[in-house]
Each structure stands twice: as structure tokens, then as C-alpha cells.
Amino acid sequence: MSRLMKELQRDHKRIDRVLSLLEAQLDELAGDGDPDLALMQDALDYVEHYPDLVHHPREDVVYMAFRRRSLDANEIIDALLKEHASMPAMTREFRELVDEAVNDALVIPRETLVNKGRRYTKAQRSHLNTEEGLLFPLLKATLDADDWEALEALMPAPRDPMFDAELGRYSQLYAYIKSRETVAGPA
């Protein structure tokens, strides 16, 4: 498997871990617990700065290369590209709602925050599942070594601001994810 395909799949595993964190905090919120809203802010900030700005644009380039080789998945690709275009706004909208809850700028019923959060994580998971289950197998079967080499030349490996740099902006988020994996095992 190509380096780029491995990176995209690695990113999906990492995004899954962030979504699991958000879901755990939403469960806490739904159960009248005390969720860590600051941790949710960090998770959403991470999604805005890596998956939305780096990961999805890289996938878009790969999908266009695939289209030059095959028309088999045009409808799937069209849907995924539309989702890539709409995901930054969806992430920003949910993050702003969490920000308002943290800053007490607006009294938000728990149920509203939970429902919006669950819609957000469900949409993100559905997107990942479509890519992993439907499109990625086609990419692997259709694109050859020359295609992957050309794509990799266009897109050097990015640094993930949380998982490739344990310290810094996302250190608390990283520590939380690692501690959950220690208890439950890696996702």
C-alpha cells in the first residue's frame, strides 16, 4: 500500500479517536454528568485545523486522480466532495455552540447541545464509513504505483498537530485520548 493511502487511513483512525472523545463527553452531558467542555473545544479546534484544512483537501486530490482512471464511483465521489465542502461549517457551528456554553454567552439546554453534537458525530462517522467501506477499496484497486507516486510528489506527508507533536496546543486532548486507550485499549 502506498505511503499516502496509509496516511489517509491513519488519519481516519485518529479522527475516529477524536469522535469517540466527543461522544463520551456527549454521553456525560446527556446523563446529567459534568462533561469537559474545554476538551470538546480542543477536539473541535483540532478537527478545524487538521481534518478540515489538511486531510480532506488531500483526499480531494486523490479522488480527482481516481476519476481520471475510472468513472465507477462518480456519485460517491460527488457526495464526499460536497461533504468535504460542508464539513468546515458544520464543525465551526458545533464548536461555536460549545464555545457559547463554556462562556455562558447563551443558556443552551443540555438536550440541544447533545442533539447537535450527536448529529455532528453521526455525520462525521458516516463520512468516514463511506470512504473506508466504499471508496478506499476502489482507490487501492484502481490507482497504480505510478499514480500513487505522482500524488505523493504533490503532497508531502503533513504533520498532524496533535498526534505527531505530543506537546503544544493539543497536549491535554492527546493525554485524554491516550489515557482512555490505556483503560479501554486502542480504538
User: Per-residue pLDDT tens for 6-65?
Assistant: 999 999 999 999 999 999 999 999 998 999 999 999 999 999 999 999 999 999 999 999
Nearest residue to 142 (alpha-carbon basis) of 65, 74, 57 = 65
Model pTM score: 0.92
Cell 468513472 sits on residue: 71
Within-domain flag for 185? no
CATH number of domain containing 92: 1.20.120.520
Residue 136's domain comprises 3-160
Cell numbers of 119, please?
448529529
Task: Please give the tally of structural domains in the chain.
Answer: 1
Does residue 180 lie within any of the structural domains?
no
Could you give the 3-state DSSP secondary structure of residue 155?
Answer: coil
Entry field: residues in the chain: 187
In a domain, 107, yes or no: yes
Residue 131 within any structural domain of the chain: yes
128 touches 15 (CB < 8 A): yes
Does a structural domain hold residue 178? no
Asked if the structure places residue 171 within a domain, the reply is no
Identify the helix (H) or strand (E) that includes residue 9: helix 3-30
